[in-house]
Amino acid sequence: MNCPFCGAQMQQGNVVTENSVGLFFLPPDQSPGFWLGDTSNSIEKKGGVVLDGPYHFRINHTELPAFLCGTCRKIIFDY
């Protein structure tokens, strides 16, 4: 795949997280939280998107297929 930003060839791989509370996209002023009451709904109320989780016991492994552009330092993946 070619990078849609600079046109360079992208490297295929995975975005990985292990033994964490999950993987989220959040606005800059937000935090996912670490309490048992935190749910997908609470992440979304903060303006976030849950990519995986949330996990309360941190025994997990997540891999999301992705493409990396080493030229312009961008990562592209579907969620």
- Summarised one tens digit per residue, pLDDT across range 38-55 is 688 888 888 999 888 888
CA distance linking residue 72 with residue 11, whole number of Å: 12
3-class SS shares of the chain: helix, strand, coil, % to 5: 10, 40, 55
Q: Whole-model pTM?
A: 0.76
* C-alpha closest to that of 67 among 17, 13, 24: 13
Question: What are the C-alpha distances in Å from 24 to residues 6, 32, 53?
Answer: 26, 7, 8
Question: What are the C-alpha distances in Å from 40 to residues 13, 20, 29?
Answer: 26, 15, 18
- Sorted by where each begins, the domain ranges of the chain are 11-77
For the cut 90, the answer to whether the pLDDT of residue 73 exceeds it is yes
Residue pLDDT, tens place only, 18-32: 888 888 899 999 887
Q: What percent of the chain has pLDDT over 90?
A: 46
For the cut 70, the answer to whether the pLDDT of residue 66 exceeds it is yes
